[in-house]
């Protein structure tokens, strides 16, 4: 049974990836907004923000990486919505295909596409002056956190794609997620913010994730922030996955 699910998921993931390869502008478009924001902050606002670091791009890159993921998962909701409207899932139900494989194919495609977009953004950041003393272990830890965050947001995108009644609704849910890093420590220290805003910034999921990635890039111990970041990522992933499966089960029973 496990082999059957894995084979079905691999086949459907290949189908989704081929769609992206035929339209590589998806990855390019996903990376354009974060790169534009990064350039804007580095060249326009960076000089006015005191972060206490030698390079502002080193400070703000973790937030840009999270914005990249939030931008990319909108395409997952969009593609899933189109499949639902096109009757693909109904056709899959008439075939000997594991039901969960259709969702996992979209999730794994999102993961691959987002990792490609993240690589583009990091490459541009290096050109703009980003430097890190992180070793292999730190880079792997950063990659692990970004993968967990991508999976958590992707399962949220699955809920949006299954529940939306229009293309605009399927992708619009990502806008608050893109905005969330701006109300965190991603671009400025929280102690420079008004008290209510600072409280929110310090108690939402983006700040510990950003602080953890920033510490890993700097070659410093992440401390408790690492465990808080992991708790947020895993917690969001578990809740989003359970909700997505529940919504999917209701949809395919109709």
Residue-level pLDDT at 95: 59
Q: Are 194 and 84 contacting, i.e. CB atoms less than 8 angstroms apart?
A: no
Residue-level pLDDT at 190: 86
Q: How many structural domains comprise the chain? A: 1
pLDDT in tens, the chain (254 residues): 445 567 666 666 666 666 666 666 666 667 788 888 888 888 877 666 766 766 888 899 999 999 999 988 888 887 777 767 666 655 655 555 656 677 778 788 888 888 988 999 999 999 998 988 888 999 999 999 999 999 999 999 888 888 877 777 777 777 888 889 999 988 888 888 888 999 999 999 999 999 999 999 988 888 889 999 999 999 999 999 999 888 887 776 65
Residue-level pLDDT at 189: 86
Whole-model pTM above 0.85? yes
Q: Which two tokens stand for residue 28?
A: 């390019």
- Domain of residue 245, residue span: 2-253
Provide the 10 A C-beta neighbour count for residue 245.
16
Q: What are phi and psi of 50, to 5 degrees?
A: -95, 105
Residue-level pLDDT at 2: 47
Give the whole-angstrom CA distance, residue 61 versus residue 69. Answer: 13
pLDDT tens for residues 212-238?
Answer: 999 999 888 888 899 999 999 999 999
DSSP string, the chain: -HHHHHHHHHHHHHHHHHHHHH-THHHHHHHHHHHHHHHHIIIIIGGG---SSS-HHHHHHHHHHHHHHHHHHHHHHHHHHHHHHHTHHHHHHTTT--HHHHHHHHHHHHHHHHHHHHHHHHHHHHHHT------HHHHHHHHHHHHHHHHHHHHHHHHHHHH-SSHHHHHHTHHHHHHGGGGTTSSS-GGGS-HHHHHHHHTSTHHHHHHHHHHHHTT---THHHHHHHHHHHHHHHHHHHHHHHHHHHHHH-
Q: What are phi and psi of 81, to 5 degrees?
A: -60, -45
């Amino acid at each position: 049974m496990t082999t059957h699910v894995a084979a079905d998921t691999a086949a459907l993931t290949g189908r989704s990836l081929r769609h992206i390869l035929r339209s590589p502008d998806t990855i390019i478009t996903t990376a354009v907004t974060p790169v534009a924001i990064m350039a804007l902050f580095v060249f326009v606002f960076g000089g006015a923000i005191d972060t206490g670091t030698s390079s502002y791009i080193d400070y703000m890159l973790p937030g840009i990486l999270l914005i990249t993921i939030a931008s990319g998962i909108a395409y997952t909701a969009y593609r899933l919505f189109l499949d639902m409207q096109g009757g693909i899932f109904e056709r899959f139900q008439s075939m000997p295909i594991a039901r969960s494989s259709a969702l996992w194919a979209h999730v794994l495609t999102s993961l691959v596409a987002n990792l490609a977009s993240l690589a583009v953004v990091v490459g541009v950041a290096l050109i703009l002056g980003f430097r890190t003393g992180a070793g292999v272990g730190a880079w792997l830890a950063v990659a692990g956190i970004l993968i967990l965050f991508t999976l958590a947001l992707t399962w949220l995108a699955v809920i949006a794609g299954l529940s939306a009644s229009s293309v605009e609704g399927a992708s619009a849910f990502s806008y608050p997620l893109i905005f969330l890093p701006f109300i965190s420590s991603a671009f400025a220290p929280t102690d420079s913010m008004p008290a209510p805003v600072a409280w929110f910034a310090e108690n939402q999921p983006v700040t510990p994730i950003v602080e953890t990635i920033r510490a890993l890039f700097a070659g410093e111990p992440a401390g408790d922030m690492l465990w808080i970041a992991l708790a947020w990522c895993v917690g969001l992933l578990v809740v989003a996955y359970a909700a997505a499966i529940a919504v999917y089960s209701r949809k395919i029973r109709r």
